[in-house]
Amino acid sequence: MISTFISHELKAFWRSKNTGKSIAIRVVMGLLILYLLINVLLLGFFLDKLLEQLFPKADLLVSFCGVILIYFIADLFMRLQLQDLPTLRVQPYLQLPIKRNTVVGYLAFTSLLSVFNLWPFILFVPFVLKIIAADSGALVAFAFIISIAGLAVFNNYLALYIKRKANLNGWIYLIAAGIIILLGLGDFLWHFYSIRNISYLFFGQLVNHAALALLPVALGAMMFYLNFFYLKQNLYLEELGSHKASSYKSSTEYPLLNRFGNIGDLVGNEIKLILRNKRSRSALIMGLFFMLYGLMFYGKPGPAGAEGFKVFVGMFMTGIFIIQYGQFMFAWQSSHFDGLLVSKISFTDFLKGKYLLFTIVSTFYFVLTIPYVYYGWRTLMIHFIMYLWNIGINTTLVLFFANRNYKRMDLSKGAAFNWEGMSGNQWILSFPLLIAPYVIYGPLALLHHGDIGLALLAVTGIAFIFTRNFWIKKLEADYYTKRYTIAEGFRNK
């Protein structure tokens, strides 16, 4: 059965309208992973030397044990942002004589195939073999490896569990990320406790009592079953009798948008789309999470606090919605795209509506970043420049890519199983957006003309805003060459 699922998924991949794009993404992703792999491998081999340098006074074993837990906390944080949720279109299998456990088990097990589960081994196993196996014997070394495996599995399923939950309710994601950040701050900023000591408390004991390795394994198994049962319980296409069915859905309108006529109506509809569908609503709420990026980077010594980084963070904070939501454009409307095509809407108005929507939401996020003025007026100025950049250039870029997105997205389906939200693959698509400002700013900053770089960014942003109509014309012409492919792709369930 498992092999059938795998072959079905492979077919789904190769026969999809988007295959070309997906392959390109995978190739870039593969290269990046390979590069990281080599780095981590080197790091793993020289971990003992590195630890000696970092903590010259401490015992090597003590500092190693301390690092493990820190690694896993950071790992969880990265997983939350980058790890893919395994997807399988379960609908066609549910009424067939296939055990539910098989379907769920397949989903649960394939998620172990993430590269994230490879890192801890590459990083820690060389050290374990080199130092611990030599000092304390093979059994202890084995216990270490088992515990690391247990923690990796635990993290894997915890991250997926949080992501599945967050899929239905974006606030959960915010809370989880907040807790992790607070955990980190509690140690490194406020010094309430030391994660390293806690970590040593456990791993230090492992040297004497190898059997303790069963504890992380038990934790991992527990998390696996939690996931398993959650999936199994939610293996329904739609939840009947949930509260949403009973509540009265009232009609709303946004009087402010009426000023924009037809375009305003389109934007009003799209705002309703965002607020009335779980997935798009989550994208909006998760955008709030990125408002914390400034807290994580600003005011820190070293490169993280430098101006060049503020350009990056500023663009992220004011433009996250454009990046996140814009990526799946126009697929958000794929279920009624035919309807839009035959109704009396000109594509120019349609595009103008998108620009207006992006401007509104970016403005909203920019206003939210105003408190960062605490880090100086210059910070706020950079945010404003990047805000201009976002509504000038990134909107246009995103819409250019939207003309190349042929993959249908079903918003009305139960979201727990068809989730293509935040994952590494998705971020690859935003690379061009992230790199673009540095093409202008980077060289100038290196020549110590950062101010000129910033000024140029602002001027470019404003220039794009004023030449919008020109870009709309270009996008429209581009769209007319692709509209049949887009419409056909969206009809492809």
Partner 1 sequence: MYGGVTVVNVPQLEIKKGESVGLVGNNGAGKTTLFRMILDLIRAERGEVLSNGEPVAGHEKWKNYTASYLDEGFLIDYLTPEEYFYFIGGLHQQSRAHVDDFLAGMTDFFNGEILKKGKYIRDLSKGNQCKVGVASCVLQNPELLMLDEPFANIDPTTQFRLKSLLKDMNKNKGVTTLISSHDLNHITDVCDRILLMEKGVIIKDIATSSSTLSELEEYFGVGQTL
Told to check if 262 binds partner 1 by CB under 8 A, we report yes
Q: Does 277 bind partner 1 (CB under 8 A)?
A: yes
Q: Which of residues 9-48 bind partner 1 (CB under 8 A)?
A: none
Nearer to partner 1, 363 or 485 (CB): 485
| Residue closer to partner 1, measured from CB, 33 or 487 | 487
The reply on whether position 95 binds partner 1 by CB under 8 A is no
At closest approach, how far in Å is the CB of 262 from partner 1?
Answer: 7
CB-facing half-sphere around the CA of 349: CA atoms within 13 A: 14
Among 339, 376, 432, 443, binds partner 1 (CB under 8 A): 339
- Helix/strand/coil percentages in the chain, nearest 5: 80, 0, 20
Does 272 bind partner 1 (CB under 8 A)? Our answer is yes
Phi, psi for residue 418 in degrees, rounded to 5: -130, 90
Minimum Å gap between C-beta 351 and partner 1 is 14
12/29 Cα distance (integer angstroms): 20
Is 342 a binding residue for partner 1 by CB under 8 A? The answer is yes
In sequence order, the 6+-apart residues with CB closer than 8 A to the CB of 235 are 90, 94, 100, 103, 104
Smallest separation, CB 173 to partner 1 (Å): 22
411-430 positions binding partner 1, by CB under 8 A: 411-412
User: Distance (Å, rounded) from C-alpha 305 to C-alpha 87?
Assistant: 38
Distances (CA, A) of 393 to 4, 62, 359, 434, 461: 45, 51, 12, 11, 6
Q: Kindly state whether residue 273 participates in binding partner 1, applying the rule CB under 8 A.
A: yes
Q: Which of 160, 263 has the CB closer to partner 1? A: 263
Decide if residue 252 touches partner 1 (CB under 8 A). yes
CB 200 within 8 A of CB 63: no
Q: Is 265 an interacting residue with respect to partner 1 (CB under 8 A)? A: yes
Sign of the torsion angle spanned by Cα atoms 305, 306, 312, 316? positive
> Residue 75: how many CA atoms within 13 Å on its side-chain side?
24
**Minimal distance, residue 238 CB to partner 1, in Å:** 10
- Nearest distance, CB of residue 357 and partner 1, angstroms: 15
Site membership for partner 1, residue 49 (CB under 8 A)? no
- Taking the complex as a whole, the smallest distance from the CB of residue 254 to partner 1 amounts, in Å, to 11
Task: Enumerate long-range contacts of 35-41, CB under 8 Å, 24 or more apart.
Answer: 37/115, 37/118, 37/122, 40/119, 40/122, 40/123, 41/122
Select the residue interacting with partner 1 from 50, 221, 341, 436 (CB under 8 A): 341
Q: Report, in Å, the least distance between residue 161 CB and partner 1.
A: 28
Is there binding between residue 344 and partner 1 (CB under 8 A)? yes
| Interaction of residue 64 with partner 1, rule CB under 8 A | no
Size of the site for partner 1 (CB under 8 A): 33
Among the candidate windows 175-183, 241-249, 290-298, 309-317, which touches partner 1 by CB under 8 A? Answer: 241-249
Locate tokens 């030449």: which residue?
Answer: 467
Return the closest-CA partner of residue 192 out of 201, 178, 182, 207.
182
For residue 87, the minimal CB distance to partner 1 (Å) is: 22
For residue 191, give every residue at least 6 positions away whose Cβ sits within 8 Å of its Cβ, in sequence order, or none: none
List residues near partner 1 by CB under 8 A. Answer: 245, 247-253, 262, 265, 269, 272-273, 276-277, 335-339, 341-346, 411-412, 480, 484, 487-488, 491
